[in-house]
Amino acid sequence: MNEAFRRVYGTRPDGIWAAPGRVNLIGEHTDYNDGFALPIAIPQTTLLAARRREDGRLRLHSSQVDGPVVDLAVTDLEPGAVTTWAAYPTGVVWALREAGHRVGGADLHFDSTVPTGAGLSSSAALECAVAFAYDDLYGLGLGRPRLALLAQRAENAFAGVPCGALDQMAVACCTVGAALHLDIRAGTQEQVPFAPEARGLRLLVIDTRVKHDLGDGAYAALRAGCEHASALLGLAALRDLSPADLPWAGRTLPARLLPLVRHIVTENARVTEAVSHLRAGRVEELGPILTAGHASLRDDYRISCAETDLAVEAALGAGALGARMTGGGFGGSVIALVGRDRAEAVGAAVSGAFRSAGYQEPHLFSVAPAAGARRIA
Ligand code: ADP
Ligand code: MG
């Protein structure tokens, strides 16, 4: 990173920061309903070499993007001012200033092994790398959850993506060997030990390498649907509903909103159930929970697609203990929990099914819970 930074900016960086991608084990679309989620950080990481500048210029460069260095004045930053990839990192500097922190410019160079647009949160990795670097370069001492929420604000208000806090919290707060049990409303988190390898299991990621375009507007529509349902029920958020309340919700809501509500309510319950299994070391019990979560996303929330459904079916057919799509939906990645001795067969079955269907070759790898964002040099 030092050499690459020198090639771009002709000098040495002040330091290097790392921010991982994430997979969410269970708890999908629950974050903007004040609910629960259970992500892990993955070994794929975004690196940032950064040097503080005193002249108020913010310069950005990424190994993943062709083109010249982006060069802006921090005083010119406002939502809508940046519309390229640079909106995510720039938005963090804007969010810090908006929150009253006296931060100025920097030279930033990124390089990443997190696949982009694959539902593995490359955008949150980019944002959190900047938040953590600025926290150190400008001596802010903000702490991980605060930095995560500033990164989320950057994505919402500056990059224009109405996401909940899951991705940034996962990237900022996950730790090696654990899944992060998030309670979004309470703002609390618990590190729950998660060591599939120790139980002879692997967590396989299947990046389908498809991203269907309808995703962007659909996300906002789903979020609006949840908020509408919660208002009609007189609740602060769908988090306040339990599975026992579903018959009442069914009598109260228009038919089109009930499946959305059912997904959120059952998904929150699945997180709680998954956490109690993990606390007791019963990792294999996660399998049926993943598969039930996929059915709920496919049938009730309706954000699955042919490729993710096929990956799940092929993995289960080859002996996976459970599988589901992860991330916002309409493509992206599937996770599967598999016995170590079945991992190869499951991978081959998924690749074979994709070939037969005429889909692109999926990208397969297994992951273990990795470290959250941090300074590495
Ligand atoms: P995901 O977060 O699931 O990967 P998003 O659509 O939220 O998908 O974010 C992907 C976008 O983030 C990319 O299109 C690009 O604009 C930006 N991005 C992520 N990583 C990098 C990187 N290393 N360099 C430049 N841009 C990146
Ligand atoms: Mg993203």
pLDDT tens for 297-355 read 999 999 999 999 999 999 999 999 999 999 888 999 999 999 999 999 999 999 999 99
Residue 316: give its domain's CATH number: 3.30.70.890
Atom 13, ligand 1: which residue's CA is nearest?
116
Q: Indicate whether 12 and 63 sit together in one domain.
A: yes
Residue with tokens 């309808």: 214
Res 214: pLDDT: 62
Strand 105-112 relative to strand 57-62, pairing: parallel
Q: Indicate whether 141 and 251 sit together in one domain.
A: no
Q: Indicate whether 92 and 225 sit together in one domain.
A: no
Length of the chain: 377
Angle between helices 122-137 and 166-173 (to 10 degrees): 50
3-class DSSP state of 375: strand
Q: How far is the CA of 122 from the centre of ligand 1 (A)?
A: 5
Q: Indicate whether 142 and 40 sit together in one domain.
A: yes
Q: Indicate whether 233 and 181 sit together in one domain.
A: no
Strand 36-37 relative to strand 178-183, pairing: antiparallel
Q: Is the CB of 118 under 6 A from ligand 1?
A: yes
Could you tell me the two tokens for 361?
A: 């070759």
**Residues 26-38: tens digit of each pLDDT:** 999 999 999 999 9
What percent of the chain stands above pLDDT 70? 99
Residue 51: give its domain's CATH number: 3.30.230.10
Sheet of strand 374-375, all strands in order from the earlier edge strand to the far edge: 70-73, 57-62, 105-112, 39-53, 15-24, 374-375
Nearest CA among 169, 196, 144 for reference residue 24:
169
Q: Is the CB of 330 under 6 A from ligand 1?
A: no
Q: Indicate whether 171 and 121 sit together in one domain.
A: yes
Q: How far is the CA of 204 from the centre of ligand 1 (A)?
A: 22
Q: Is the CB of 113 under 6 A from ligand 1?
A: no
Question: Could you tell me the end-to-end alpha-carbon distance of the chain, in angstroms, rounded to an integer?
Answer: 10
Which amino acid, one-letter code, is at 265? V
- 166 burial type by CB count under 10 A (0-12 exposed, 13-18 middle, 19+ buried): buried
**Residues 12-67: tens digit of each pLDDT:** 999 999 999 999 999 999 999 999 999 999 999 999 999 999 999 999 999 999 99
Instruction: Kindly state the helix (H) or strand (E) to which residue 274 belongs, with its residue range.
Output: helix 258-279
Q: Indicate whether 78 and 136 sit together in one domain.
A: yes
Give how many domains the chain has, as a whole number: 2
**CB-based contacts of 181, cutoff 8 Å, min separation 6:** 36, 37, 38, 189, 190, 191, 192, 271, 275
- Distance between CA atoms of residues 367 and 322, nearest Å: 15
Q: Indicate whether 207 and 321 sit together in one domain.
A: yes
Domain assignment of residue 219, given as a range: 194-367
* Residues facing residue 210 across a β-bridge: none
Residue 302 sits at φ, ψ, to 5 deg, of: 60, 50
For residue 46, give the ligand 1 atom closest to its CA: 23
Q: Indicate whether 361 and 213 sit together in one domain.
A: yes
**Residues 228-238: tens digit of each pLDDT:** 999 999 999 99
Of residues 211 and 79, the one with the higher pLDDT is 79
What band does 217 get if pLDDT is binned at 50, 70 and 90? confident
Q: Indicate whether 75 and 182 sit together in one domain.
A: yes
Q: Indicate whether 179 and 214 sit together in one domain.
A: no
Q: Indicate whether 214 and 66 sit together in one domain.
A: no
Could you tell me the two tokens for 95?
A: 């969010």
- Distance between CA atoms of residues 279 and 190, nearest Å: 11
